[in-house]
Amino acid sequence: MPSEPPFEIHPGNFSLNVSGVAGFFGGDEAISAIQTIHHYKGRKFLGWYNSPGSWNVGKKFGKLAKSRFWDGLFPGPDEEPAKFFELDGKQGPKYVASRSGSILEYTGHLAYLIMQKSKEELGYQVEGRVTKRNKVTIIKTQQVFEPKDKPPKEQLVRDITPRSGLHTLVAILPIAVSFTTCALCGWANDWFCFSMILLGIISSGMSSLVIGSARLKLQGVNSAPTAPPGDGMLMDGDDIVLLLGKEGDVATITRGKFILEYDPWVRNEYAEFRRPGEEPVTDEYTAIGLCSLLLVIQLLGQLLLIPQGTLFGQIMFLSSFAASWVYNLYLSSIDNEYIQEKMILEELGLEERHMLTYSLGTRTTAAVFACLMLQPPGFKPERIICNFIPNDTPVWITWRKKVLEVMKTRDGSRDACYSLLEMTDKEKEDFGAGKGQLLKNLLEDAKTAYDLAMEVQKWLPVKEKQNNGTTCPAVHQ
């Protein structure tokens, strides 16, 4: 005869049916928690708890597996892991190279992150005329990859060190609750709920171990040793980022990306899942498909067996779900994009002393300042100016001509440049009071930009020599 349970709960007419929410509750939080699993050290080993939302998680991550078999079970577009985990795929802003004048209408994910970070900066408020604030962030790029004798088109890859976090300690809560409730169900002889909690622990732990086993890497773009500096600017509305440095370092920002690299035991296909006569699939990710299938089977088991358990066992099952949901909620509160912003700054070696943000009062001030900062020998700023301000009215044509004369002189004398930014008597007569005042305002904007550029250019070479926190020139605060 089966042994009697040590105690029994008499629910009367009350019936607790948790099967309807067993696999669906908390799915969004569980998916969001897994999205950041590659950012943190040891996270892949901390998934041994009865996590809710197994159906949603299984259907979501099963799409990573590729082949007719897996596409039939988990239909959806096939994406690369980095894009699937939102580490790639964001469209970056327009990029204009100052030396060649070449234009990239769209850059990549890393440029998007750099631009978002610059938008978050308050910046030094520059005095002068204000119509609409424009932010200009200057970034002195650092060496990302060691020089190697490789063809210019060959891409460079380096590992990204995972971060540390408090989640390691917090994970003790759901893991302890899941194993405790599982043991209590066994103690109460409720083997239905015992087996379902245990299956949830195993399926969640295996999924975290497999999905989180990828190594996060940074992929750059190699450039020729004789390539000129890659100075240029990212443009997104009223926000501009000036990139100053070597071609390869700038190209890493504009065209580099994050990649996730799985071991062969995760990527490879298994012959038993291939239909007769079907060609092998490169990077099938069969191990991820198997874990996703296990999560779906978990839901089916919960739907069938949890209603057969005792009220005590069902309460234990819900308790393990509640603790796991709270932990997933904590993990889902981590901003994936914010972590990526911090990560890319660390990997590119961009500390506070390498970045400087100014908030300028007008578009014309920002345009002149950007051109002066990007002004190498032989630089032709016409295209840069026109990218900012394409106006072709007489006032703008006159203003542009005067500004270009200042840039061509490269004199550095404040009085000489100021004299070029004054209206002549003929111009005052031709434009009259209204248009003349507009031209005068635009020329004052150019003077403000010139003064700022001269101060910042004194700071740029200094910060390259110092390795311990130089002070940014907080001019015109």
Kindly state the tokens that stand for 143.
Answer: 């060496």
- pTM metric for this prediction: 0.84
Kindly state the tokens that stand for 69.
Answer: 């078999």
Percentages of the chain per state (helix, strand, coil), in multiples of 5: 50, 10, 40
Tens digit of each residue's pLDDT (9 = 90 or more) over 146-189: 766 455 556 688 899 888 877 778 899 999 999 999 999 999 99
Predicted local confidence at residue 210, as pLDDT: 95
Contact 384, 374 (CB under 8 A): yes
Q: Cα(184)–Cα(7) distance, rounded to whole angstroms?
A: 12
Q: Cα(44)–Cα(287) distance, rounded to whole angstroms?
A: 15
46, pLDDT greater than 60: yes
Secondary structure of residue 414 in the 3-state scheme: helix
Between 201 and 413, name the one with better pLDDT. Answer: 201
Contact 347, 132 (CB under 8 A): no
For the chain, the first-to-last Cα distance in angstroms comes to 85
Tens digit of each residue's pLDDT (9 = 90 or more) over 254-270: 999 999 999 888 887 55
